[in-house]
Amino acid sequence: MKIYHGHSYHPQECYGCFQWLLLMSCGAVYAVCALSTTTLSFVLPAAECDFHLSSSDKGRLTATPLIGMCVGSYFWGNLADARGRRKAIIGALLLDALAAFLSSLMQSFPAFLACRFFSGFGIIGATGLIFPYFGDFLSLRHRDVMLCRLEVFWTFGTILLPGIAWLIIQDPRFNLTSETADFQYTSWRVFVAACGVPSLFVVLLLMPFPESPRYLLYANKTEQALQVLQKIFVVNTKLTEKDFPVESMLACDGEEEEVVTADTNGNETKTPMTWNQRWHSFWSRKKMLVTPPYIGMLVLCCFVDFGLMFSYYTLMMWFPDLFERFSQFSSLYPEVSAGVCEVSANVTRSELLGKQECPQVIDDKVYIHTLIVALSCIPTALWVGLTINMVGKKLMLVMMLISSGLAALGLNLVRSSLENLILSCVFEAIVSCTEAVLFCVICEIFPTKVAATAMAVTVMCGRVGAIVGNVVFGALVDQHCIVPIYMFGSLLITSGLLCTILPKSTRPERPH
């Protein structure tokens, strides 16, 4: 969206305090998205007694919210186009909070799964829309840097999760019902409900901010769009509304343009595109995406994100459970060294439950190790934001995929809980930022008018990969965990090697 005016108007007046305040609010939303997405990682070991979960059940449990995400992404995208991005984000957060509260009350495993489906259905709306919403308030000059800063908040969300889990799940005061009661509301259920509270909190943070001016302009609400820009101008410059100099705006969407002019009396004129023109434009964009060379690049990006989320999301959700298995194995066999697969093969969860009473108490080391893994992502997140333009998006993507694949394969070589923790930190630190780099590459290699569609298709394939990964890992972790680990490493390394054939960019150089 470009702004034209009648007298002196500097670009710096569009960027300032307002964007930084919005960054804090949108960052809080993104941190809550991370918190909600990874909540089940501590439910796996904590709820095992109540629901009598097998490893296959755990795989289904972690996959169910992802199925909700796949379904919800299309729904929220359409709602955002029809009603606005801000309203869609708020609605998604409210649904996630409601699903969290209801799931904490469910006494049967199928009912709990149903509620977690709607939690995933809701949170994907906020996750998918917060970037375009925030980006609509940024100029091209500042967009890349500010969106990279937004990525850091995801790490903060993953750091917050083990802290909340440790404070609630381990405290017997949060077991609000007796063990013999028909209705159970134990500490892990309180934890699930507590993870829904931040979703309500960030809704309050978003309330003072306006709808995206780009959406308002495309929705023919030009007067409201001008009012939003006026508000941004006043906050950034500390001037009055009367000093706002904008008189006309030009909205661009690829090759299509709509011109909106507001004169000094507030009268507006608009030359809209016809319905036939919009329909033809829509199909021309879709046709462009499925023809060479873009179809080949799209398939490759989908394969990369499938393998990336197959590995990253699966291990991220299972790390606390794997740490708990190491802790239980060490308590039973203190002098024995073993790797991940040996621990899972020789000491299954059913055997452990036969040696201890329910409810199961999670070792404090599990929370500490999970927190350390989350903290290890901070240096990488900062490094990527600072060096991505110097190293290059394509080269960075290749290096991160191959190195994370080697780290995944290394899980077969660890012989102790400490070695497992160190390698888990290395893997998580690298792979946690890889999808963000992939998204930056997609924005570079696809033209503007098809980049959003390419991104949506890629993200969908990534979520499918996460579903498959969790189901496969849950089915094989007890007796054949070496198989999924080799799959993790192979997919990541293969993806990295294939990314070498991607072009650096298909766009002309951007003006400074």
DSSP 65-94: HHHHHHHHHHHHHHHHHHH-HHHHHHHHHH
Q: Could you give phi then psi for residue 261, rounded to 5 degrees? A: -125, 135
**Model confidence at 1: pLDDT above 80:** no
- Which residues are CB-contacts of 254 (< 8 A; sequence separation ≥ 6)? 281, 285, 447, 448, 449
Q: Is 75 exposed, middle or buried (0-12, 13-18, 19+ CB in 10 A)?
A: middle
Q: Report CA 301 to chain centroid distance, whole Å.
A: 17
Residue 207 is which amino acid?
M
**Residue that has been written with the tokens 């994907």 in this structure:** 124
Q: What span, in angstroms and rounded, lies between the C-alpha atoms of 133 and 138? A: 10
Residues 205 and 293 in one domain: no
pLDDT at residue number 247: 62
Domain contains 294 = yes
309 belongs to a structural domain: yes
Cβ atoms of 403 and 497 closer than 8 Å:
no
Quick one: tokens of 396? 């960075």
171, 163 contact by CB (below 8 A):
no
pLDDT for residue 508 is more than 70: no
Q: What is the pLDDT of residues 179-202, one digit of tens each?
A: 777 788 888 899 999 999 999 999
Of 186, 209, 232, the residue that ends a domain is 209
Helix axes 448-476, 55-83, angle to 10 degrees: 160
Residue 216 inside a domain? The answer is no
425 neighbors 380 (Cβ within 8 angstroms)? no
Bridge partners of 268?
A: 262
Which band of pLDDT confidence, cut at 50, 70 and 90, is reported for residue 347? low
CA triplet 84, 134, 385: central angle to 5 degrees? 155
Residues 6+ apart with CB under 8 A from 229: 3, 14, 213, 244, 246
Q: Which of 32, 230, 204 is nearest to 119 (CA)?
A: 32
171 lies in the same domain as 300: no
**Helix (H), strand (E), coil (C) string for 213-258:** HHHHHHCCCHHHHHHHHHHHHHHHHCCCHHHCCEEEEEEEECCEEE
- Give the Cβ contact number of residue 503 at 10 Å: 12
Burial class (CB in 10 A: 0-12, 13-18, 19+), 440: buried
Q: Mean pLDDT over all residues of the chain?
A: 78
Between residues 264 and 68, the one the model is more confident about: 68
Which range among 161-170, 278-287, 349-358 shows the weakest confidence by mean pLDDT? 349-358
Task: Examine residue 510 and state whether it is found in any structural domain, yes or no.
Answer: no
Of the candidates 319, 339, 322, the one whose C-alpha atom is nearest the C-alpha of residue 431 is 319
Q: Is residue 335 part of a domain?
A: yes
Domain count, the chain: 2
Domain range for 176: 12-209
**Sign for the pseudo-dihedral over CA of 118, 122, 123, 124:** positive
Terminal-to-terminal C-alpha distance of the chain: 17
Based on the fold, state whether residues 48 and 141 are members of the same structural domain. yes
Q: Which pLDDT does position 227 carry in this prediction?
A: 81
User: Does residue 310 have a pLDDT over 80?
Assistant: yes
Whether 304 maps to a domain, the answer reads yes
Tokens linked to 46? 């904590």
| 222 falls within a domain | no
Q: 26-35, 146-155, 176-185, 372-381: which has the highest mean pLDDT?
A: 26-35
> Which of 87-96, 452-461, 464-473 is least confident?
452-461
Is the pLDDT at 14 greater than 80? The verdict is no
Of the candidates 192, 209, 226, which is a domain's last residue? 209
Percentage of the chain exceeding pLDDT 70? 80
Distance, in Å, from the CA atom of 29 to the CA atom of 204, rounded to the nearest integer, reads 11
User: Which range, 161-165, 212-216, 285-289, has the best average confidence (pLDDT)?
Assistant: 161-165
One domain, residues 447 and 324: yes
Q: pLDDT tens digit string along 348-401?
A: 544 544 545 554 567 778 888 888 888 888 888 888 777 777 888 888 889 999
pLDDT at residue 26 tops 80: yes
Determine the average pLDDT of the residues in 316-333: 79
438-454 pLDDT, tens digit per residue, is 877 877 777 756 666 67
